[in-house]
Amino acid sequence: MSQLDQAAVLHELIKSRRSVRHYEETSVDRAQVLAALEAASWAPSGLNNQPWRFAVIWDGALKDAIAGLTRYATTLRAAAVLVPVFMDASAGYDRTKDCQAVGAALQNLLLSCHAQGLGAVWIGEILKNKDRVRELLELPERLELMAVVAIGYPAHGRQQSHRKPLEELIVCEK
Ligand SMILES: Cc1cc2nc3c(=O)[nH]c(=O)nc-3n(C[C@H](O)[C@H](O)[C@H](O)COP(=O)(O)O)c2cc1C
């Protein structure tokens, strides 16, 4: 594939990804989730410190308990799998840069899901209960919850979104 074609495919994937909050009841293949996590792990990070950590939750009772900690409970309950994403303090060196790196990993995760035909949404609202999520999963305090990603096959393709025009975003060009 030419570089131009590659860029066109990438841009199309980036632009067509939507937050998916309604899912089919179909289960998701573990290999697909692992592929998305591998894509996440190829995100850039300061000093290549790779501070992201992932939990993969298939268990219905546990999904239900996590869902109870956010007002997006319906979405979390309907998802085939939940991926709580953490930042590992023991790998960290600069809080801002570590958070940015985990954000980059999250975006890779969402894009890989989309490229594989899966729907996903980044749930941040649950961070108000980040310690309770970690405790439910019996994980150590050095892991700080950054988001929960809900994943499943999209129930429909009607999600719409919009972006500000570039002219509003470029604050300086000289
Ligand atoms: C930091 C962050 C937190 C978010 N938290 C939530 C959330 O708690 N619940 C939710 O439904 N969507 C959440 N989203 C998804 C956004 O609502 C969504 O990305 C935005 O509306 C743009 O829509 P799009 O992803 O379809 O382009 C979050 C996204 C980010 C980056």
In a domain, 86, yes or no: yes
Residue 162 lies in a domain: no
* pLDDT value for 106: 99
pLDDT of amino acid 156: 94
Does some domain include residue 5? no
CA of 83 to the centre of ligand 1 (A): 15
Q: Which atom of ligand 1 is nearest to the CA of 106?
A: 31
For a pocket test of ligand 1, which of 16, 70, 106, 122 has the largest count of ligand atoms closer than 8 A to its C-beta? 122
Residue 140: what pLDDT? 98
- Report the pLDDT averaged over residues 17-44: 98
- CATH classification at residue 72: 3.40.109.10
CA 143 – ligand 1 centroid, Å:
22
Is 95 a domain residue?
yes
Q: Which domain holds residue 96?
A: 26-155
Summarize pLDDT for 91-119 with one digit per residue, the tens: 999 999 999 999 999 999 999 999 999 99
Answer yes or no: is the C-beta of 72 below 6 A from any ligand 1 atom. yes
Residue 102 lies in a domain: yes
- 124 falls within a domain: yes
pLDDT of residue 65: 98
N-term to C-term CA, the chain: 34
Cα–ligand 1 centroid distance for 26 (angstroms)? 23
Q: Is the CB of 124 under 6 A from ligand 1?
A: yes
With bands split at pLDDT 50, 70 and 90, how would you rate the model's confidence at 39?
Answer: very high
Please report the pLDDT score of residue 104 as a whole number: 99
Q: What percent of the chain has pLDDT over 70?
A: 100
**Beta carbons of 144 and 158 less than 8 angstroms apart:** no
Across 44-68, average pLDDT: 98
126 CA to centre of ligand 1 in angstroms: 12
pLDDT of residue 73: 98
Tokens standing for 117? 């035909």
- Does residue 115 belong to any structural domain of this protein? yes
Considering the chain, what is the average pLDDT of its residues? 98
Q: Residue 83 is which amino acid?
A: V
Number of domains in the chain: 1
Q: Whose CA is nearest to atom 29 of ligand 1?
A: 122
Structural domain includes residue 85? yes
Instruction: Give residue 83's pLDDT band: very low, low, confident or very high (50, 70, 90).
Output: very high
Q: Identify the residue whose C-alpha is closest to ligand 1 atom 5.
A: 124
Alpha helices in the chain (DSSP H): 3-16, 30-41, 60-67, 73-78, 95-115, 130-136, 166-169
